Amino acid sequence: MGKKISVLSILCGILIVVGYRLWIDTPSTYASNKAVSMNAAYYEPSASKGYINEPTGSLNKMMPFYMNDGGAPGRNCTTYIKVENILDNNKQADVVQENEQQQPPEQLAVHKRIALTFDDGPHKNVTDQILMTLQKYEVKATFFVLGQNVVKYPDVVKKADAFGHEIANHTWSHKNLTKLNAQQMRAEIERANEAICDATGKTPTMYRPPFGAIDEKVRESIDDIKPVLWNIDTLDWQHKTPKKTLANLKSQAKDNGIILMHDIHQQSADALEEVILYLKEEGYEFVTTSQLL
């Protein structure tokens, strides 16, 4: 009997010591701004009865809690944090608002967008160089092509389309549409559409009138495809100087801008890399014309 009592006494003593060590070694938890640190004592009955003060509504079912400010007595807190989330240091504390009002979603970051467009191509060499530069910087552009040039270089148009660029109509032979009758206008657009469709398998949804010449008669005669002009003119066709192309671009660059360049002049292809680098540094996102409109 005495041995049994001794053994039981020893076991009881071990249990008491182990229980005490577990109690003093259990870290307390403090939640502030959803970040968890171990520096404040927590006693569940006091927290749930004394600090929370019997919250109403759905919060009644959400126990136990830590107070958002650590549960200090006398504080009039309105937010509570679920214990199961706090005790897991790998989780961000889940804050529950007493009024249960959802916070408005964060606004998406606003990006400046801009579209590169190239007229009058395709050109066997110049357009190919432009495509390589665009590919290097992962930029998509819109090519307003002439039907008569598409027939000459269909492989260049196919390549542009395969790279994910947008192919649009710039008429068959670059005639001023405002000087043509309705039938002639339609012929310029339809012949170019056919050439583009033969090369890419796609029918364009946009056209750019040569010289930007458009009036109500043109709009009425060509009403099944969208006219697109520009609002940033590099004048690359006029001066044929890469530095001037870049300077003109810098002076006009703006959000929702449509840049006019041409892929039939070597100097335009030579200017493109600097144009792209400048716009990227200024925080512009490159999009195709249809994405912008």
Which residues are known to be catalytic?
119, 262
Q: Where are the beta strands (DSSP E) in the chain?
A: 30-32, 35-37, 65-67, 79-82, 95-97, 112-119, 142-145, 166-169, 206-207, 226-227, 232-233, 257-262, 284-287
How many residues make up the chain in this entry?
A: 293
The 3-state DSSP class for residue 91 equals coil
Quick one: CA torsion of 278, 280, 284, 287, rounded to 10 degrees? 110
Instruction: Give the Cα separation of 222 and 76 in Å (integer).
Output: 69
Is the dihedral angle over the CA atoms 200, 202, 203, 208 positive or is it negative?
negative
Angle between helices 126-136 and 154-162 (to 10 degrees): 10
Count CA atoms closer than 13 A to 255's CA, side-chain side: 4
Placement of tokens 């020893």 in the chain: 10
| Residue 196 near residue 225, CB atoms below 8 Å | no
Please give the angle made by the CA atoms of 40, 42 and 44, to the nearest 5 degrees.
165
